[in-house]
């Protein structure tokens, strides 16, 4: 195992993103279609926030009434914007940071995803799943 393995070697580079003009319904559709749990929010290439599937579940009734999206969810998605629900100015990593750096942040801050930014431009995302898969491959 390389002690200084870089984030860029395990991060997801083809990142699905939204911007604040997208609707929460569109973001929720991305979560479901691509089986992802975190979506960076961008303005152009610049990261401005992150939206998690947990953020959507907090404001929806999906868990309460089953998997079908209720009419209540539609109303909530229409009432709120991504800008109101997302985490603004999230903590980030650089592609040059190490997997150890990411793992320490995940364990101390209880995050499950960190956007990877270089020169203020979003270049990837690393998740706890990426790190687990890295260690599985090593094992």
Residue ranges of domains in the chain, CATH in brackets: 7-138 (3.10.580.10)
Torsional class of 38: left (φ above 0), alpha (ψ -120 to 50), beta (otherwise) = beta
- HSE (CB half, 13 Å, CA atoms) of 40? 29
Cα separation, 38 vs 8, whole angstroms: 18
Note the pLDDT tens digit of each residue in 44-62.
889 999 999 999 988 886 5
Q: Distances from the Cα of 54 to the Cαs of 11, 85, 121, 131, in angstroms? A: 21, 10, 25, 20
107 φ/ψ angles, rounded to the nearest 5 degrees: -75, -30
pTM for this predicted structure: 0.87
Of residues 2 and 92, the one with the higher pLDDT is 92
């Amino acid at each position: 195992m390389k002690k200084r393995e870089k984030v860029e070697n395990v991060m997801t580079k083809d990142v699905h993103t939204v911007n604040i003009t997208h609707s929460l319904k569109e973001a929720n559709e991305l979560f479901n279609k691509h089986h992802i749990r975190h979506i960076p929010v961008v303005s152009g290439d610049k990261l401005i926030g992150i939206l998690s599937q947990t953020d959507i579940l907090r404001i929806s009734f999906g868990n309460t009434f089953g998997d079908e999206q209720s009419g209540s969810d539609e109303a909530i998605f229409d009432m709120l914007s991504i800008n109101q629900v997302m985490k603004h100015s999230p903590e980030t990593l650089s592609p040059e940071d190490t997997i150890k750096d990411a793992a320490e942040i995940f364990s101390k801050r209880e995050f499950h995803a960190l956007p990877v930014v270089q020169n203020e431009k979003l270049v990837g995302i690393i998740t706890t799943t990426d790190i687990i898969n890295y260690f599985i491959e090593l094992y």
